[in-house]
Amino acid sequence: MHDNLIFNVNGTEDEDLLNALKLVFSTSGYKAESWIIDKKKGFVLLWSDNKGNKLPYPMSALEIFPMIKGFLESEQAKEIECKDWDEDTDHDGDNELGWRVYTENWGKIDGVDGCSFLAIKPTYVWYGK
């Protein structure tokens, strides 16, 4: 495991979401042991169960995928902030609501928890002309 994992992918397809999760889990070496929902960051996974909502057992990308998919389809996901590159911006093309899987500084999610290793949030995917 390394400390500077860099990852930032958006999309709309379930298969791509699962593949993005698999890549981060295999690259980081972590399994999800707990989770937090943050109004700005989205659904945040932690590699420790010392904070957040403890999962019944350490989960792989494949095991946590249905929970993430359920979150993205939930009313709670609609409350997550979409700003800057995530927003439903006005441009000369079309936008579609999708998802973003990402890390921030030091392979963590800034301001959430030191054990965070990944966040997933609703985001708009832009299609230009």
Query: In the chain, where are the structural domains located?
Result: 8-127
**pTM listed for this prediction:** 0.94
Listed in sequence order, the DSSP H helices in 1-125 are 14-28, 61-72
Question: For all residues of the chain together, what is the average pLDDT?
Answer: 94
pLDDT tens sequence across 23-81: 999 999 999 999 999 999 999 999 998 888 999 999 999 999 999 999 999 999 999 99
Query: Cβ distance 104 to 7 under 8 Å?
Result: no
pLDDT score at 92: 85
pLDDT class of 1 with cuts at 50, 70, 90: low
